[in-house]
Structure 1
Amino acid sequence: MDVLLSRASTDRLQDPAPDRAQLEQILATALRAPDHGRLQPWRYVIVQGEARSILAENVVASTLRVAPQTPQFNLDKRRQRMATMPMTIVLGMHLHPEHKIPLWEQEMSVAAGAMNILNALHALGFGGIWVSGPITQDPVLAAQFGFEAPHRLAGFVFVGTPDNPLPAPTRPDPAGFMAVWDGTPPVFGQDRNHAP
């Protein structure tokens, strides 16, 4: 429980990234995600080394396709970030739109796998962050990673070793996010605290 409760996302990452054996162990946890219908929608593309600069240029090109007015400063920042992360795991969704299992359930399985990756990274002493944005909807970028329609991108997990110890994450009290149901629609404490 301490490992799960101490996890926090970070993009302040440096070498080393997980080695091959550690990466396989991390991805094995992703494959333990709930999977209604046993469709196995998880796909992972690992980007390291010189391929990082290709990733960066593809992401910048995608950004210009989906948001042509993006300021140069933002493009440069995105290029630098993508090109310097020790490792990036591209999250793919291998989807079956014709299947009786709804697409949203297939997508949730991919998301659950991504959360398992973040937890496993933390448990092994690494760090990570899951990033997404409008470029995940770009079919050209998705196809560059082998995810042609109907398959899609779910984002990118940056992976490495945190450059400093992570501060203890501050999280809200779980009591505000739960309610005991008595047959009537519940009111959550969190919603009362943030009512307009």
Structure 2
Amino acid sequence: MIRDLIKERRSVFPVQYIDMVIPKENLQQILESANWAPNHNNTEPWRFKVLQGESKTKLGEFLSKKYQEVEEHPKQVKIKKLKSNPKKSAAVIAICMQRDPKESVPEWEELAAVAMAVQNMWLTCTEMGIGCYWSSPGIIEYMDEFFDLAEGEKCLGFLYMGYYDEELPQGKRKPIKDKVVWLD
């Protein structure tokens, strides 16, 4: 049932991933799920770049180097994490948004559509037993130096992905009744 899948969705971090390849067919199914996200005026603003193999290592090197360039007081822990997270992942999907050149809808609606596409991917990963985590590092604004982004396209973050073999904790939420106002 979809509600059960929604409740089971968790952030699973690269440090938790095991060394196991995600088959290309599974990645294609995950991306196909993203393609069915709702979006206003059918702008379909989501764009994805799938990194596997050596491209993950190059991403990690770029992220750690760029962080050291722009951060006044870079932290060694952060440098190491930026470099190692892509390598620990079976795949990394760069989450990008292509702004409608006509600007037929507000930008926030296109951002929301991309987020819904990622939620679809996340739920599909959950169903497949693949862990994932959306990360948007502070240096995300520099990704045009790494990727060949189209005009009006920007990178919003990375979906780190990998299989895991540990039990995930139960999710916790405060009651919905505390977040809803009913009007008659």
Give SS of 1:127's match: strand
Shift of 1:114: 0.8
1:86-127 deviation line (CA, Å, top 9, x unaligned): 211111111125422111111111111111111110011111
Number of aligned residue pairs? 180
Work out the CA distance in 2 between the residues paired with 1:115 and 1:167.
19
> Structure 2: which 5+ runs fail to align?
none
RMSD: 1.7
Letter in 2 for 1:157: L
Change in Cα spacing, 1:77 to 1:133, as seen in structure 2 (3 Å) is closer
Q: Distance in 1 between matches of 2:180 and 2:36?
A: 26
- Percent identity of paired positions between Structure 1 and Structure 2: 26
Extract structure 1 runs of 4+ deviating beyond 3 A: none
- Alpha-carbon distance between aligned partners in 2 of 1:32 and 1:112, rounded to the nearest angstrom: 9
Normalised TM-score (structure 1): 0.84
1:55 pairs, out of 34, 54, 59, with: 59
Query: C-alpha separation between the residues in 2 aligned to 1:171 and 1:161?
Result: 25
After TM superposition, give the deviation of residue 4 of structure 1 in Å: 1.4
2-structure distance, mates of 1:98, 1:163: 46
Look up the SS of the partner of 1:53 in the other structure.
Answer: helix
**Between structures 1 and 2, the one with greater helix share:** 2
* Map of 2:46 onto structure 1: 42
Structure 1: which 5+ residue stretches go unaligned?
183-196
TM-score, structure 2 as length reference: 0.89
Assess if the C-alpha contact under 8 Å between 1:93 and 1:147 holds in 2: no
Q: Which has the higher contact order (CA 8 A, sep 6+)?
A: 2
Give the match's secondary structure for 1:167. Answer: coil
Q: Does 1:105 align with 2:109?
A: yes
- What SS class does the counterpart of residue 58 from structure 2 fall into? helix
Instruction: Give yes or no for contact 1:87–1:158 (8 Å, CA) kept in 2.
Output: yes
Letter in 2 for 1:159: M
Whether the 8 Å contact between 1:66 and 1:134 is mirrored in structure 2 is no
Separation in 1, partners of 2:33, 2:115 = 13
